[in-house]
Amino acid sequence: MDFPAASPYASRRSAVLADNVVATSQPLAAEAGLSMLRRGGNAVDAALAAAITLTLVEPTGNGLGSDAFAIIWDGESLHGLNASGHSPAGWTPERFAGPTMPERGWETVTVPGAVGAWAALSERFGKLDFATLFEPAVHLAEQGFLVTPIIGALWGRDAAVLKDQPGFAEHFMPGGQAPRAGERFASPTVAATLSAIAESKGEAFYRGTLAERIAAASAEHGGALTLDDLGQEAPTWCGTVSGSFDGVALHEIPPNGQGIVACMALGMLAHTGVRERGPDDPESLHLVIEAVKLALRDAEAHVADPAAMHVSAEAMLDPDYLAERARLIDPARAQDFGPGSPRKGGTVYLSTADASGMMVSFIQSNYAGFGSGVVVPGTGISLQNRGAGFVTTPGHPNRVGPRKRPFHTIIPGFLMKDGAPLMSFGVMGGPIQAQGHVQMVLRTQLWGQDVQTAIDAPRWRVAQGLSVSVETSMAPETRAALSAKGHVLDTDAPDAAFGFGGAQLVHRLAAGGYAAGSDPRKDGAALGF
């Protein structure tokens, strides 16, 4: 890994090198995590304190009503946790008659899984008392915190759209408007809710007073979510799926998430000439874009709740199948691929690592900014809109149905090499996530860029057909070369913070300790000691 004195890209920061590190999308959350390490906690304690704090200080990307996923290296082995909630029992296909799923409101709310993830991770791996992890967030909720610039801009934009959703304005628009960057936001209501979760180890949220309030609010507004739905929710220790490239293994959470896309794309790229060119060469970019496109088309057709999938994850990752798909890539021109046929068989991300060798890759999300827009009265619980991830197409494995997990965009990533941990990382931001994982893996492993340089590099995002969104920082000659191959480039993305993601990377160093990077597209920071 090369740490250039002068970055080839427009960078605001260098990689942080330390024995204990936390990288998040909001500095107060990073400090919350680091404070747990200073108090004798481990990387899991740090990740949870940061995640809990993020629900308060970055409400545009996550909240107490979010879902979550995690990959943990405990010093000896790798573990995967799926804490994405199921749909309500009342969500039959007949309930949703339109051609697409709703995007906001109670008809998008599945059971939130993040609180269950916190309790499960703390019980299995944490060193500190569960309630201790909530102290930074409770303090900030009571005393208030200063809204950061990017979050403030997103807050104002989303508030204009969501102000009429139940409970939104009352909680997120004090004085009738969204707080702007530099203004202070406090919520004694959230402080009380966090304390109830802390004291009950999450039970209040799923089977206690908070659950009763959530269910009552759902019933009041015609929602299907019930107390029974909440009470039956539990995270799943699901392990990981993996794909390899030149001796490095990428581990992702299995479906219902899109992490398998990154594994598939790397498996295809192993059969191409991507190694022959540099990280910003249009020839290599073209090959990576085409491989990602192929993997995405398969995911759109096949990935769902594993119980409903028509083909297995193992079949999608079969080396012979990936080699077959790779042969469709034409080095000279872009193509609009359809799905293959394998044999049947608004988000926050953070990464932490400690001096003992434990590493955590953790992600939680509302999906769209502020999720459903619904806030449960008297609690400050903002609910995600993961139900929008279902489809209404008859026969599709991801068709909406009762007590079913929807297709998920949020994915934590983890790299291993020769049985040892290498990098804990993620790239938050809807459809960019699996694509961002591929870009981060290749930049750090194939091309040797340090974590911050890899983060700072211009990104691209495959859309539909031949369309590819690219950042304006991509060199004009590179864009021209990609266009000449038939890619339809779009440089008018809505905002870099969502459209091209927010990466947080923690890479293990041969000399011991870690290199950590945090994305300048977000307000966050990498901190360490």
Residue-by-residue DSSP string for 345-394: --EEEEEEE-TTS-EEEEEEE-SSTTTTS-EETTTTEEBP-GGGG-B--T
Burial class (CB in 10 A: 0-12, 13-18, 19+), 164: exposed
| CA 229 – CA 207 distance, rounded (Å) | 10
Q: How far apart are CA 412 and CA 259, in angstroms?
A: 8
Give the Cα separation of 57 and 380 in Å (integer): 13
478 is catalytic: no
Residue-wise burial string across 215-231, b where 16 or more C-beta atoms lie within 10 A, e elsewhere: bebbeeeebbbbbebbe
What pairs with residue 23 in β-bridges? 351, 526
Compute how many other C-beta atoms are within 10 angstroms of the C-beta atom of residue 345: 13
- Look up residue 448 and give its two tokens: 């040797």
Measured between alpha carbons, how far is 89 from 110 in angstroms, rounded to an integer?
10
75, 354 contact by CB (below 8 A): no
Q: What is the CB neighbour count within 10 angstroms for residue 72?
A: 26
CA-CA distances (angstroms) from residue 17 to 13, 32, 415, 450, 529?
A: 12, 19, 19, 11, 8
Catalytically annotated residue among 53, 55, 132, 347? 347
Q: How far are the Cα atoms of 103, 220, 324, 384 from residue 374, in angstroms, in the given order?
A: 12, 12, 45, 8
Residues carrying an active site annotation:
347
